[in-house]
Amino acid sequence: MSTRQTAIRLPTETYDRLKQLAERTGRTTAYYIREAIEEHLEDMEDVYLAEQTLERVRRGEEDVIDAEEFWRDMED
């Protein structure tokens, strides 16, 4: 697996908590940052992409079918 490096800014309180956790567990702060991102990235993608789709629906740019039609099509 290839990796890329990035930089982030954290509020002091968040960074202090992260640093304390890393020190207490013998892991790096980078480890916990990576874990948090990997754990929540899929959920964030789902939320933000769903919000974009909802906006397209509201603007009439997406086709929408009702539940009855959906389930009827699933039976075919």
Query: Residues 14-23: pLDDT tens digits?
Result: 999 999 999 9
Side chain identity at residue 55, one-letter code: E
Question: Around Cβ 17, how many Cβ atoms within 10 Å?
Answer: 13
Can you give the pTM of this predicted structure?
A: 0.66
Structural domain boundaries in the chain: 12-75
Question: Around Cβ 29, how many Cβ atoms within 10 Å?
Answer: 15
End-to-end CA distance of the chain: 43
Q: Which two tokens stand for residue 70?
A: 């959906």
Phi, psi of 61 (to 5 degrees): -95, -5
pLDDT tens for each residue of 10-56 = 999 999 999 999 999 999 999 999 999 999 999 999 999 999 999 99
Give dist(CA 56, CA 43) in Å, integer.
Answer: 20
